[in-house]
């Protein structure tokens, strides 16, 4: 299981979260059936989990290959100067770029690690050259390309 458990969840709440991570389209009736609950208490629990922020939203998982997105790259971005507005502006820009699947401010040799999706290697190179390198404050960008995706997902251990 996970590293830490939230004190506000009981076993039924955890089962709800696990079932919805497997299939976000489960109806309340099916969810209640799988939990051996009646529909009203199940619906109340679900609404509470949503209102308390345990469930942030629902979305479809798309097949990137079917969409023609054959390359995943990881860019390590380092700033020359960490003070001022440049890192803050950078974070805002990363949040707006659909090619950026994730952006993490990290400790270690670089300041940020970006997960980037692109059609092909040329598109990835264009993105780095035309959209990343032009941003102020960046002193270096190092890329690694995914050769094979071993595991991908966003399911949390509950």
Between CA 94 and CA 101 the distance in angstroms is 9
Q: Is the per-residue pLDDT at 3 higher than 70?
A: no
Task: Give burial (CB, 10 Å; 0-12/13-18/19+) of 16.
Answer: buried
What per-residue confidence (pLDDT) applies to 8?
84
- Give 5's pLDDT tier (boundaries 50, 70, 90): low
pTM of the full structure:
0.84
The residue among 4, 19, 7, 3 whose CA lies nearest residue 52 is: 7
Q: Which domains does the chain have, with CATH numbers?
A: 11-51 (1.10.10.10), 71-145 (3.30.70.920)
Q: Is the per-residue pLDDT at 158 higher than 50?
A: yes
DSSP strand pairing (138-145 vs 71-79): antiparallel
Mean per-residue pLDDT of the chain:
93
What sign has the CA pseudo-torsion 85, 131, 116, 64? positive
Q: Please, are residues 42 and 32 in contact by the beta-carbon 8 Å criterion?
A: yes
Quick one: average pLDDT of 91-119?
97
- Give 7's pLDDT tier (boundaries 50, 70, 90): low
Q: Please, are residues 118 and 99 in contact by the beta-carbon 8 Å criterion?
A: yes
């Amino acid at each position: 299981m996970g590293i830490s458990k939230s004190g506000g969840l009981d076993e039924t709440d955890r089962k709800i979260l696990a079932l919805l991570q497997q299939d976000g389209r489960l109806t309340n009736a099916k969810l209640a059936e799988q939990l051996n609950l009646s529909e009203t208490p199940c619906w109340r629990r679900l609404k509470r989990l949503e209102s308390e922020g345990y469930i942030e939203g629902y979305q479809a998982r798309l097949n990137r290959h079917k969409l023609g997105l054959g390359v995943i790259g990881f860019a390590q971005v380092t700033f020359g100067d960490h003070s001022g507005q440049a890192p803050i502006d950078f974070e805002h820009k990363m949040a707006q770029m659909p090619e950026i699947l994730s952006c993490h401010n990290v400790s270690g040799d670089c300041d940020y690690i970006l997960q980037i999706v692109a059609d092909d290697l040329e598109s990835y190179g264009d993105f780095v050259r035309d959209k990343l390198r032009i941003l102020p404050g960046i002193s270096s960008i190092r890329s690694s390309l995914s050769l094979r995706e071993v595991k991908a997902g966003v399911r949390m251990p509950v």
